[in-house]
Amino acid sequence: MTYSWGHSRRFNAYADYFKQHFGERVQKLSIDAGFSCPNRDGKVATGGCTYCNNDAFNPSYCLPEKSILQQIEEGIEFHARRYRRADKYLAYFQAYSNTYAPLEKLVQIYSQALHHPLITGLVIGTRPDCMDEDKLDYFAALSREKYVIIEYGIESCYDETLNHINRGHDFNTLVSMLELTAAKGIKTGGHLIFGLPGESKEQMLAEAGIISKLPLNNIKFHQLQIIKNTAMEKQYKTAPEEFSFFELEEYIEFIVDFLEHLNPDFVVERFAGEVPPRFLAGPSWGLIRNDQILQKIEKKLTERNTWQGKLYMK
């Protein structure tokens, strides 16, 4: 069976979307351009999001003291050693808020990346309060020539949760900026965390209907993990009873339930976060890798004879 997204997998898979879009394998290269966040430097708040430690997901070659081009070259070598070599790459600006600077500085940074002959586009992770119309006009112009997607951290649809994790903005701020970004013709992505303190499973499942109404192209999901050297690690040690973690099989069932209600037009990039064990300060699923989790999810979708959007209602 071929689904509305054009292939036979039971969800709108990122890898298959890329093959359709580019006609070949494309690899993302993480780059740390040395940005900060307004909830770190005091403009909005201090301390950053309570769960955040960028060292936990930055590859070893990602150091802001290196030039953009040096990180790209080392990233290409890094991926060539670990994975099958790609012929095209996307410069992935992931660490912190990658539009938190004057437009002139952004143009300088992103022009360096796009100058590399193997870079075919940009993936830019940021916050909705670090974007404005002038910056969006710049990215809109770029997107007419290159692949450009702006990824906003959603994390939760509930203001109480966003306040609890020191996000520094409410959900409506995110919705307004997503709508403006999409109206400019720029691809949009989002990131959602499941298991944040205070949220019930029913609340998390209800987020499928909430985000399905947003103008998103891509979506990432991430189970809550307690990362060392974060404010959340301190909270967990002080009040562990406030936290409830998914067991692996429970999470698989939850994700399948969530997918059933998710807009089938959304490309799903990731179902779970993967952090080196040395960074973990709370419960974990052991050494299982994301590809193994994906296999379990696809097996469960088949067992239940279900698929992304089966229960989706516009």
State the average pLDDT over residues 277-281. 92
Is 187 part of a structural domain of the chain? Answer: yes
Q: What is the pLDDT of residue 24?
A: 84
Residue 295 · residue 247 · CB < 8 Å: no
Question: Which three-class secondary structure state does DSSP give residue 159?
Answer: helix
pLDDT tens profile 169-219: 999 999 999 999 999 999 999 999 999 999 999 999 999 999 999 999 999
Predicted confidence (pLDDT) per residue in 123-149, tens digit: 999 999 999 999 999 999 999 999 999
Tally of domains within the chain: 1
In whole angstroms, give the CA distance from residue 211 to residue 219: 9
Does residue 146 fall inside a structural domain? Answer: yes
Does this model's pTM top 0.85? My answer is yes
Whether 7 is covered by a domain: the verdict is no
**Residue whose C-alpha is closest to residue 147's, from 96, 189, 109, 178:** 189
The answer to whether residue 2 is domain-embedded is no
Q: What is the mean pLDDT of the chain?
A: 94
Q: Check pLDDT > 70 for residue 246.
A: yes
CATH of the domain at 235: 3.80.30.30
Report the alpha-carbon angle 166-169-172, nearest 5. Answer: 140
Domain with 148, as residue range(s), is: 14-303
Asked if the model's pLDDT at residue 84 lies above 80, the reply is no
What average pLDDT does this structure show over 66-82?
88
Sorting pLDDT into bands at 50, 70 and 90, what band is 85? low
Q: Is 314 part of any domain?
A: no
How many C-beta atoms surround the C-beta of residue 229 within 10 A?
12
Reported as a single tens digit per residue, the pLDDT across 2-53 is: 999 999 999 999 999 988 888 888 889 999 999 999 999 899 989 999 999 8
